[in-house]
Amino acid sequence: MKKKCSNATLSILVDTARDEYAKERERTTTLDNKASFFITVIVAVVTISIPIIPFSSFVNILNDGTVINIHLVSFFINGLIASFICLICSFAYLYKAYKVADFRSINLDCVNEEYQKESIEYIQKNLCKSYKEIVAHNKTINDEKADSVSNGIRLGLIGFIVLIVCTIALIITIGG
């Protein structure tokens, strides 16, 4: 036998569900902002670092350098390639998190004329049911976004560190 909820209980449930929905939407905004910030940082760092890397000196070192310098430069070039691969993968994760997702919004079918004939309890129960389904769906999407942002930031940091270390090491090794 189902127990009936009072109007006050249903009202509290609707308010709680509405709050949970608002929290998930806020979480979405936060994740989107983080993703867009780090995408911007990746683009800026790559744009700034490309001119600093002494590409023109690579050929001279590889043609005229000592065996040790050739191996060092080759090692650091491979490090640069690895860092760019990390940054590209980071960008892909962050873009995946940032792109438009299939979020659901509240079902307001209960506001039409047909439902106005129904009781407040009936409408509140339908709203609670709608909120519950939507919050569960949006939470799943936000969890995926959070994983993508986390992976993107992790790979981005690895890429930045390797890029900086290899660029400085190349400048020191080449002497420029």
Q: What is the mean pLDDT of residues 1-26?
A: 76
Annotate the chain with three-state secondary structure.
CCCCCCHHHHHHHHHHHHHHHHHHHHHHHHHHHHHHHHHHHHHHHHHHHHHHCCHHHHHHHHHHCCHHHHHHHHHHHHHHHHHHHHHHHHHHHHHHHHCCCCCCCCCCHHHCHHHHCCCHHHHHHHHHHHHHHHHHHHHHHHHHHHHHHHHHHHHHHHHHHHHHHHHHHHHHHHCC
Contact 60, 176 (CB under 8 A): no
Q: With a cut of 90, say whether residue 42 has pLDDT above it.
A: yes
Q: With a cut of 90, say whether residue 123 has pLDDT above it.
A: no
What is the pLDDT at residue 4? 60
What is the pLDDT at residue 144? 92
Give the global pTM. 0.76
What is the pLDDT at residue 1? 45
Contact 148, 38 (CB under 8 A): no
Q: With a cut of 90, say whether residue 163 has pLDDT above it.
A: yes
Q: What is the mean pLDDT of residues 14-32?
A: 87
Q: What is the mean pLDDT of residues 42-48?
A: 92
Least confident interval from 79-83, 93-97, 127-131: 127-131
Domain ranges of the chain: 18-174
- Residue 69, CA distances (Å) to 54, 59, 82, 96 in order: 14, 12, 20, 40
Nearest to 6 by CA among 119, 91, 86: 119
Q: How confident is the model at residue 84 (pLDDT cuts 50, 70, 90)?
A: very high
What is the pLDDT at residue 28? 87
Place of tokens 């640069």: 80
Tokens of 4: 């009936």
Contact 19, 131 (CB under 8 A): no
